Homo-oligomer: A and B are copies of this chain.
Amino acid sequence: MCPTSANAFVFLLVYSLEKKTPLKRKITLKHIARELGVSISTVSKALKNSEEIGSDTKEKVQAFAKLYNYKPNNIAISLKNKRTKNIGVIIPDIVHHFFTTVFRGIEKYANAKGYNVIVCVSDESFDKEVINMELLANGSIDGFIMALSSGTQLKNDYNHLKEVTEQGIPLVLFDRVAEDIKCDKVIINDKKGAYNAVTKFIKDGRKRIALITSEDYISVSRERAAGYKEALLDNNIEYNEDLILKFPSMEINENLIEDFFEREKVDAVLSVNEIFAIHSMRYVQSKGLKIPEDISFIGFTDGLLSKYASPGLTAIAQHGEQMGEIAAEILIDKVENDMEEETYVTRILEPTLIERGSTVN
């Protein structure tokens, strides 16, 4: 029989009291040295198989270290080497498929290179971004990988980034970047993604192509809007601002969708994200329109929703994992061979159109 309370915020507590087992404290070089009657430096060298140390001493030390499972203390090594083997990642949100994907790429590459990743979430806030960055910059990490928070992009204040790079800490920006920051960048060609999507619509004979987007201060939205416009103009289709639905925030507002689709007759929709696209698809479906016959959809960032929507949403894939790997590669390279000249590279990945049921084939 199951317990009966159904309240999510009531929970069970199960206690168990154990006698405290004696701690196996971590052993240090000093302990080994004392125990074996040799000096700390001898132990250190013996463990590194140094030629300086006699083979019987080496054997003795190594055997002892193995027996007591000696592992050097990371913090002490970091202090000595002025290298932490940690990289700091600051992203606006972690519950977000794209960022998560990039993170996986970063973590994968970093781990393979022996680095750990410290993640901080800026929560789209300028202040949190600054605080976290300054905290980590005080010796905790060897370099940063980040995507700007919308708060930062809105404020257009990048002093915290400048501070960090001026201290010689490498920085790689991805996806949400800013022109005037001097650092390495990895982005995808958002403009091209939008351009290709609109071009496909036009090839499919669509005439009234809408754009659903967010405010322009988000760099990627701006780029995508530019690609949308350019594709229309290149194909001699009128660029009509009435066909652009601009959401003031990331929060979905069903009324805006309803107003828009009641007001404008459109036969194709490009959306800067999945959520806006899915909501719109559902709305037009509820109005009896058929997708893709009456109206087709393409959405940015190929995530779970696109894949499992019904019909599947044709999507512009951003290759997040690859982006993360590249960012990590650039960063770690900078960290490990900090060269004399200051050369910055911007890598621009090409988006890919993943065709699904929301567009005609």
Contact = CB atoms under 8 A, between A and B. Distances in A.
Interface of A: 1-3, 5-21, 23-26, 71-76, 78-79, 84, 86, 94-95, 97, 100-101, 103-104, 107-108, 111, 116-121, 132, 134-140, 166-168, 182, 189, 191-192, 195-196, 227, 230-231, 234, 275, 278, 282, 285, 304-305, 308-310, 317, 319, 322, 340-352
A14 to B, nearest CB: 4
Given A8-B317, A350-B11, A97 B94 contact: no
A319 B8 contact: yes
Nearest to A165: B21
B100 A94 contact: yes
Contacts of A305: 304-305, 308
B139 A74 contact: yes
Nearest to A1: B234
B13 A350 contact: no
Given A13-B347, A305-B308, A119 B119 contact: yes
Contacts of A9: 322, 350
A351 B12 CA distance: 12
A17 B341 contact: yes
Given A12-B347, A16-B343, A140-B116, A167 B107 contact: no
Contact of A345 (B6, B14, B116, B138): B14
Q: How many copies does the complex hold?
A: 2
Contact of A15 (B192, B278, B343): B343
Given A166-B23, A308-B278, A343 B138 contact: no
A319 B9 CA distance: 9
5 contacts: A6-B352, A26-B139, A94-B103, A97-B304, A118-B118
Nearest to A132: B111
B10 A350 contact: yes
Contact of A20 (B8, B111, B134, B342): B342
Given A75-B79, A104-B95, A118-B118, A349 B138 contact: no
A347 B16 CA distance: 12
Contacts of A319: 8
